[in-house]
Amino acid sequence: MTHVTHDEIPPFYDENSEILILGSMPSKKSREARFYYMHPQNRFWKVLEQIFCEEITDKKEFLTRHHIALWDVLASCDINASSDASIKNPIPNDIEEILNKSQIKQIFTTGRTSEKYYQKYIYPKCKKESICLLSTSPANCAVSMEKLTQNWQVIRKYLGKGKKA
């Protein structure tokens, strides 16, 4: 087990962000690259390419253009490599800054672990419902790309219209 903190990867958002996608904790590969969903077998970026019918060449530009914010539910924890199942001593992030400085209409969690910690630690404070999406993690490889893409289509519903959550 290693104690991991989220200090090296800040939340990615701006004042125009409309949806917030929360993972649990960045993988070891993401921590090394200092950005989100950087494990080569994680299908996060491939799913977004499918949903938006475009190739992502610049991740930050893509997220900004589509008003997508990224962060994680946890600020720190003890974890074995990148295994969500091994998480111990979780400490949540405070998402209020993002909610106060953006136009977030909907919060999404990526998989059961991020949803569990969101409901336990963050929802009681912010009272904003979340929608749990299927995990794009390599650990969830039994789920087909087609099923992931279909499940993730819901994020488009909250981009470009509606009011702040």
Q: Looking at this protein, which amino acid is placed at residue 111?
A: G
Considering only CA atoms, which of 41, 51, 47, 59 is closest in space to residue 138? 41
Specify whether the CB–CB gap between 18 and 67 falls below 8 A.
yes
User: Which residues are designated catalytic?
Assistant: 42
Distance between CA 124 and CA 147 in Å, rounded?
31
In the structure encoding, which two tokens stand for residue 91, read together? 């400490």
Specify whether the CB–CB gap between 87 and 78 falls below 8 A.
yes
Phi-psi sector, 10: left (phi>0), alpha (psi -120 to 50), beta: beta
Interior angle at CA 132, CA 145 and CA 42, nearest 5: 40
